[in-house]
Amino acid sequence: FRSMQKVGLGFDLGTTISLASIVNQSGRPEVVRGPSGRHLIPSAIYFDTNVVVGESAMDLGLRDPHGFAEAFKRDIGKPHYSRDVRGAQVPPEVLTAYLIRHMMENVRHSVGEVESAVITVPAYFDEKKRTATQQAAGLAGLKVLDIINEPTAAAIALGHEMMLDKQSSNKPRRLLVYDLGGGTFDVTLLEFADRTFRAISTDGDIYLGGRDFDERIIGIIAD
């Protein structure tokens, strides 16, 4: 195993899909794959005698929706998940912690022990939602190095690649980040130059993601 002291780790906790990535020893980003070889993890949990996370949870949830939880990112910061799970009200932080713990296990399988990470969140997340995300990580046994906005992460990734490729980044540039996710929609205008990033303006909608598109289409077909 490579030492996690020599690599950086980041988690993208999505409404529908989550992902872990590292910056390897050569300074390049690298997506973490689980034991099955997959890197995209459905943000889904199934409760029965055991707790199941990811693709298997999706399959079990189709047969038994009473033990199934998904899209709990939308409820982070609230007292409990939007519906009961097995007749119980479950805090979104607990559900998120199970997801983070599963991702940590994938990272351990690929690169070794993990203790800390950076977590990305939507630009619209307020302090309450950010604190709840940090609490979820704590429940999973993960130390949060920083919580950054998803559009900012995208801009940093671009700037990092430009520096690695030795492209000039001294001249100020403006970048529009269009982030249409499974549950959210964010647009952020950023300016970056000489390794400095500044958010000029941002806006978003928590109920304008791919999931909402699906539900609207289903509603039209049902009607």
For this structure, is 203 an active site residue? Answer: no
Confidence at 121, pLDDT banded by 50, 70, 90: very high
pLDDT reading at 2 higher than 50: no
What pLDDT digit, counting tens, does each position of 59-85 carry?
A: 999 999 999 999 999 999 999 999 999
Say whether 179 is catalytic: yes
Phi, psi of 133 (to 5 degrees): -65, -40
Contacts of 20 (CB under 8 A, 6+ apart): 9, 10, 11, 12, 31, 32, 39, 41, 103, 106, 107, 117
The burial of 29, by beta-carbon neighbours within 10 Å (0-12 exposed, 13-18 middle, 19 or more buried), is given as middle
Query: What are φ and ψ of residue 18, in 5° steps?
Result: -120, 160
Q: What is the pLDDT of residues 182-203, one digit of tens each?
A: 888 888 888 877 767 778 888 8
Determine which one of 70, 75, 93, 179 is catalytic.
179
Catalytic-role residue among 70, 75, 93, 150: 150
- Please tell me which residue in 70, 73, 93, 129 is annotated as part of the active site: 73
Shortest CA distance to 50 belongs to which of 69, 35, 75, 67? Answer: 67
Name the residue type at position 54: G
